[in-house]
Structure 1
Amino acid sequence: MQNRTLGFWAKSFSRWQVLRKQQEVSDRCTVAQLEKVFQGFARPRCLELGKLFGGVRSLSQVSFEKTFVSLPEIFTAGVLMSEIISSTNKLHFVFGLVDPEGKTSLSQKEFSIFIQNFIHGLSCAFGLCIPCSGAKEEPKSTAVSRGNFSTLLMQRRHSSAWANCDEQHRIRFAHAPTADSMTLIAQRLYTKTGISRKVARTIVKLHSTLQNDADKAALVAAVKARQQSSLSARPATTAGVRSVEQRLPFPVLLDWCFRLVQDPLAIPYALVIERFCPRESSKDDNPENFEVDESHIFHLSPASAAVDEREAAAAQYMPSRADVLAARYVYNFAAEQNYFTLTPAELEHQMSEARHTDVEYAVRLQTACAQAEEIRSKQRKPSWAAEKFLGCVRALSATPLPLGDAEASPHVREAFKTMPVLPQQEKDKIMQDFARLDVEKKGFVEVAELKRVMGGNDVVTDALIGEYDASGDGVIDKNEFFAMMCPPGYKMETSEDKEGKMLSQLLQAYMEEEQQRVCLEEERFAPAGRLRAASVSLSAAMPIVSEEKWEQWNANFRHLDQDSDGFISADDLRCFPGVFHSSNARDLTAHLYALAWSCGTAGSS
């Protein structure tokens, strides 16, 4: 489910709406009906969904016709746990599930349903059992019968583990919240999201522009006075007057889920969203960085489930199950043969073994094999520049020990510094020997030719040549030959210590860079269960505003919003110049009006 695209979920949602109109599938359906909704899921996958979301403990208890699951919970859990869908599109999708009329806003009841789908869906996906309303906290055992003996055994083991464990580990056996608890949570969260991101930023900006404490106190007093006047002027609800339903638009809910509203209760939801956000995309997915055109934002509605063009373009490149199996066959064969340059006959044979006959995909696999062989060849044999670099480092080395061991042994470095330099006469002799072996003037001597000349024990010769053949290419170049033929007690002429230290630092930097590159490559192909620190946005690490401060800013906004339309307009600011008790009250009001006007054409929201 984590590798499904937004297009897959949108098409499944549209198919579900069609089946609902035909009265074939409702919100709760059987496992057999899941195959009609999710056409990309095989029957074993539908059985697993029935086990997780149907409240049973094993696959043997799943019935195609008697096990019922909740489709909104499956859609919510599948979309939220996807790692290839952007976080904004995820939230627009799950909000659209509980917005049947397509108003792009949620009432308190719809928001409560969203919270229940969120908690129930993820709880079922992670194997937590969902208790009924009013159920006790401690699990109970049922009476023994012939049909539920295995269920009873599992419940008794669960009860025993729950009763015998300590408080620290008892949370492992805890239940998910009940429906009544989640309704209370939704009511609490709904009242907390009554102020949007732009409103909070505008009030903070207005408050920060004031220079002294007297002006700030005057602003707070004006907001409180405005709040009291708006509450007293609000007409009471009577039997003949219908109360207006309060709804929160999707942008406000997005700000709450991204924890831009700084609500402590939003932390669990924000952590879930950031935990399953796409890799290396949290920075681009943060709504604080840029504003998005409303016409290009994905919205899910029963009327139309239009998919973002970028998501649809990316979905066509997703491999199918048959493609993955064929690639696995080809890779296993190439890994066994230790080469990836496959002939067309070998590739065709492996494709036929996987029962895949797509010629275009075979061409793509052959291109991928050629690229893999090129990468392997680069890793197996260093380039010419790398060989020269390693040769220079080896010439500057004091001993055959590794660089780290040599640095860890000061007496070895001191002993190397006191060694005499090999005389020029001896160098000429070694050079003549190398020229005599290099008959074709290639600049290197083959290992086979060197073994023939040296003779002796093959094991000793192989060990000696393997020690100095750093590149492992089977040849000995001039620098390697000089290092190998240098007599004991002498050293080759080296550079100054400063240059050697510089090259040593360069080598260390090169090794650190290569190590970082390898770590990034491993992280890119890491399993989905690994926790990635880069996926957590900076907003989750910001300090949380206290409850008193939060209520104060809500009161300030309601105070300034004279007509209770959700906006602070210029007229709202002009109506209360006398409330500011400082000497420059009118100048302050004009300044606040200019700041509020800069946040939008009609005011601040």
Structure 2
Amino acid sequence: MARLLTSLQGKAGKPDAGSPPVCQEAWTGHSPSKMRASSVVIDSGVSDLGLTSEDLNSYQLEKLPMHTTGRPEARRASEPIHGDGAQSWHLGLAPLRLRRPSASSSPRKRPSLLPPAPATGGNSENSSDREDYELSPNAKSARGRPTEFPGTQSWQLGEGRSDSYRTRPSPKRIGSRAVRIQSQEISSPMSTKASTPRQEAKADNLSLPLLDQRPPLMAPRSFSFAEDSMADVMANILDEEPECGWMEEFWLPVLEASPPEICLSISGRSISHWIELFNRWQAAGGWNPGSAPKFMDAYAFRDFIATPMTKALKWVKVFDPQAFSQLEATKSKMAYQNVKISPAAFLTSSILIATKIAKKQKIRFILGVFDEDDSETFDRNEFVEMISSFLLGLGILFGSSVPKPSRRQWIGKLLFDRIQMMACCKLPALEANMIKSSDSMPCSLLEEWFLGESGDPFAVPFALLLERYSLRGFNEDPEKFEDEDKKFKITHKRCVAPPVETESSLDMSFIKRHQIEPLRRIFDLCQKDSYYAISHGEAERALETSIHPDLWCNFAARGLEQLEAMPQSRKGVTFLAFLRISMPHAQPRHHRMFFSWLQELDEIEQLRKQVASSRSEQLRFQNYISRWPLHAAQRQKLGEQFEMLGEKALARGDVEDEEVVVRDPILEGLQGGDKMTKEDYIAAKCGVEARPNESKPQLDEVVGDFLRLQVRQLEESLAQMESLFASGNRVTRRPSFIKPAVTQRQWSLWNHAFDMMTPTAASSGRVTLKEFAFQHDLCPATCLYLCQSIGHSSEVHELGFTKEEFLQKMLDTFRHRVRKEFLIHGRLCEA
């Protein structure tokens, strides 16, 4: 192309003698006018040269004019016009920077700033990014037009763009006039305002590189449903695996684009609807695991979802666009029969975008669909197959770049290894060894990973997807208090019963969560006095609060009237029985939901007590470490007193009244029949104005930060629980799923603090309450609180914690993840 244009320039001849030098050519005219990037001032002779629009675009990029207001400037294509960094990109004024020669120049795919994935699982080392992805049939792009994703645009401007550095050349002449391009914010040639000689000289001495039209790879702004941004997610993934790229072309549309319009009609369906479809699908296979149809044609799919054919074809357009195009063209019966829709892909993709289903129930549904043997475990091959189908379904639904099968297989193996590694460093050694030897994982670990609770940065995109399609303020677990055998599970051998649903799935004929507490207060008032013929006004005066008329008329009055009409004694009537009377149409799963709400109210009371005790413990610790260490002279004096009194007399308590030692009740209960030592005596006699030992700054820092963050964590849990019972619009802060990696300094600080707690902590790897308290470095009450918060034993004399438990608690409380290089044989510390 460049050789062709050079030869054309030679044929055009030299410029006129009266024209200014090409290096000083400037626009003349009045005020600058703004024109679009696509506008071109060109002589009609150009069309006679036979140049295509593609050639012209390539040539135009080299001939961008120089702004003549004093300095040559142009805005990068990757710089956003708006402050939120989304949707539109300038080609106007901004300082330029040179392009790297190694930058990708693919015209069909946004260049990746991430390194390619290792050559694993079918990916060759020489395979390009284009080979790792295949464009979804629903993704729209055209050369010369931007492929638009929310927040970004990828400008595709021809096939043969060079990545070498280019400076502004002199304008080439084609025919009788020069080709000139006006981009946004660049002055029009119609301007009559001439540039000054100083401006022309300055423009002559500076070079203008070719515009770098690559947009930013990821939107810098955070998501509307979470505090994280895609740039943060990718940065944490690269920090964990520097050699692994992570499908930014796939996740950006999934997390920002809108699904097809047909999906809006199913986003409000409850989980009962999807269980009904699953049962219908498995019944077609005779309830024999693995015998359900893998694909359905248009007729079978219409009967499967029980909808008219016109609506079924909208789903065909999404999940099998090629067959839909053939069907639209021919309208033949064979075209309907050639449709292939996977029921598994349809169910798993659709339930993900349903907003009235709890996150855990979504995950259990998806895992159950692929767990065909009902073992509640996934081996490596089953997990890889699930992830591959999962990514394919999402890519089809959102029209994003779907990774090719070989790369999806590689991704599944990578994720399986990471989930296994992250889980085994937390579990007891015996259980972790069993998981590694069987090369399988229970579904409970997969649920934790998909929810983003494991801290793995590779799980964050999946957690963000679940959060995006969840109603704000309804992130409750409806089966939190259910027995394990009654929790929702998918099975391929028998009909699945609907589980306890979320509050958002209830209609107006049921009470809401925020109404159950005032309704219980009304019932308790009437039950106490055995008087049920109470009026609305009497109930408000007795409870000293207002009662909403709808609550009274629709539920309270109906139940009280039924109780008043009962001939037998009403003393044995429970509140749950009262709810059954008030809502006779409620089913057992609704009654379980109401009972779980009552348990949540009890949990709120427990959380309030925990917050109060944690705050008082934090104040006690701050008061203790603010004391001055006992002076050396006072310590020596108390030591001499101890020797004079004698250990035997102190053990019996046979001393004079003024020498009776007032001991801490916790220490007294822990000592039992053991004799008092000199250190115990000094700690008991130093009073409340001094601490017996010198402070240990590292231990004080770790314990102080832990108590502070523990209080904040409990307060957040309490606020989240209370928001569930708030009426009206619920104001909840956006969650964050990214856990930064713990630093080397912080990790070393935690390990040193543990070793300081007791003399035997470093060698035994365990801290007991008795040793910890009698070390006299911290207040005995603080030692007891730490052992209860970190350890798992309930007996006072057995209270304590191991080093692994301590490090894991620090990671959870500080919201950090452990780095791979800190692990020792896959564990947080040596066994």
Q: Same fold (TM over 0.5)?
A: no
Name the structure, 1 or 2, with higher relative contact order (CA <8 Å, separation 6+).
Answer: 1
Q: Which has the higher helix share?
A: 1
Which of the five TM-score ranges fits, normalised by the shorter chain? 0.3 to 0.5
Q: TM-score, normalised by structure 2?
A: 0.30
What TM-score do the two structures reach when normalised by structure 1?
Answer: 0.40
